[in-house]
Copies of this chain bind each other. A is one copy, B any other.
Amino acid sequence: MTESRSLIEPRTLKGFRDHLPAQALARENILDIARGVYRSYGFVPIDTPALEYLEILTGKGSDETDKQLYRFQDHGGRDVGLRFDLTVPFARFCAQHIGVLGTPFKRYHMAAVWRGENTQRGRYREFMQCDFDTIGTTSPVADLEMVLVVHDLLAAIGIEAFTIRINDRRVLSGILHECGVADRSTDVLRSLDKLGKVTPAGVAAELEAHGVSADVRTKLLGMAQLAGDPATVLAALDGLVGSSETGRTGVAALRSLLDGVQQAGVPEGRVVIDPSIARGLDYYTGIVLESFLDELPTLGSICSGGRYDNLAGLYTKQALPGVGASLGIDRLLAGLEELGRLPAKETAAELFMVHFDTAHLADYLKIAAALRGAGIPVEFYPEAKRVGQQLKVAAKKGFPAALVIGSDEFAAGTAQLKHMHSQQSVTIDWHGDVHVLVDAIHSQLQAIKAGQ
């Protein structure tokens, strides 16, 4: 750099953003929890390139996705694009590798995707998806596991009040068939999907415009608003599907799914039937699922998915049925932030060690190494600034505790452990024995955690 050169303005592209430490830590922690839950059911990670041949990406895209695609020609003149979801790359991946991997195949994939969409309403052009799917089996156990994974995931994240709403596309098909409107199913389902945003009367008017008769309108609106005790909802659905074979299969599937959820020990009320849920009209064919924070229902679904008949039909003749869901981690983080449930911590270390006197550097290094050896992450301030200034940094970053050992303390074989929240200090007598010091700090940190 020459001195005369003018500065380049540091900025990010519209719709893109940096993640500062507090935000990045919160996201990393949730990804870590998701990884643990996915793995606990036998799902394994895969990764695919951010860039794909354009034809792979556009093969299945709607006009909407095509418009949003980041596409260009690479150095070799190839038409390429940045993935806009993880499903299309997974379909391509399965078409290529499923022979080696074998079925059933259970994978998770946590990665960024890009869409050049309008940036209103907190939408970003780069965001992360956390998908998990079971491919190559039609076993209802896979459907059940999807629900259990979503449950365990939201519970492990520490959300106390959430509801998983399930439905089965076959129930909807059966009812539409029984009502004689199967030929207008897309229009009808789109209208019903507006319930909540549009009044029942408004939805009824839309249905009328689609030529749906008055008694069928009443039936459909009644169905879409069914809620409460699962046994009652199932009984009502039994009546609505009538003699439709598809519909009855769907109701039976929902019934045994709820049984399984209960047998696996999921608390009552966490999983409910919501006959208004349709999702991805062209894609899902069996169970569909959405999940909501009870305290923030307007946030929308934070984890959604379902069963589909054929994942990779564009790329292979091998039929690959599957079931899976996706955690909307950015939406979830936004929700947790809105609810004040995100820790404001800017550190992942538990202890801040004040750099009191560089003459004792060797001692500080020994203590830090012993703490890390005992599994206690510690940040050692690199400069011997004023203690007050260092403690201010520790407080700002959200450290639970700070360790202060000055020349006097070293001489006396003591240390001050400051609880940052209460601002109380505890004196530790360690007589120059690092193990004693580490044990005492360990106990103090446990006590702080327990007290929180």
Contact = CB atoms under 8 A, between A and B. Distances in A.
Interface string A2-33: 00010111111110111111001101100000
A26 B144 CA distance: 29
Contacts of A44: 21, 24-25, 346-348
Given A10-B316, A20-B97, 9 more contacts: A5-B314, A19-B47, A41-B379, A49-B126, A75-B116, A102-B396, A142-B382, A263-B362, A264-B368
Nearest to A370: B265
6 contacts: A20-B101, A21-B46, A24-B45, A45-B348, A141-B355, A260-B362
Interface stretch (A51-59, A193-201, A212-220, A225-233): A51-59
Interface stretch (A106-114, A166-174, A244-252): A106-114
A185 interface: no
Nearest to A78: B13
Nearest to A9: B315
A149 to B, nearest CB: 10
The list of the 9 closest CB pairs from A to B, nearest first, reads A42-B379, A72-B72, A16-B49, A19-B47, A10-B95, A21-B44, A139-B382, A24-B45, A10-B315
A104 interface: yes
Nearest to A59: B8
Contacts of A349: 39-42
A264 B51 contact: no
Contact of A382 (B17, B28, B104, B263): B104
A134 interface: yes
> How many copies of this chain does the complex contain?
2
Nearest to A53: B13
Contact of A13 (B28, B52, B263): B52
A51 B380 contact: no
Interface in A308-340: 312-317
A236 interface: no
Contacts of A316: 7, 10
B264 A369 contact: yes
Given A39-B377, A40-B349, A141 B14 contact: no
Given A1-B314, A8-B59, A74-B70, A263 B46 contact: no
Contact of A315 (B8, B18, B41): B8
A445 interface: no
Residue with the greatest number of chain B CB neighbours at <10 A, chosen from A35, A40, A396: A40
B24 A47 contact: yes
A416 interface: no
A51 to B, nearest CB: 6
A59 B1 CA distance: 9
B141 A18 contact: no
A49 to B, nearest CB: 4
A92 interface: yes
A366 interface: yes
Contacts of A407: none
Given A260-B365, A369-B264, A141 B382 contact: yes
Given A40-B378, A378-B40, A7 B314 contact: yes
Contact of A49 (B18, B74, B102, B346): B18
A100 interface: yes
Residue with the greatest number of chain B CB neighbours at <10 A, chosen from A21, A97, A347, A377: A21
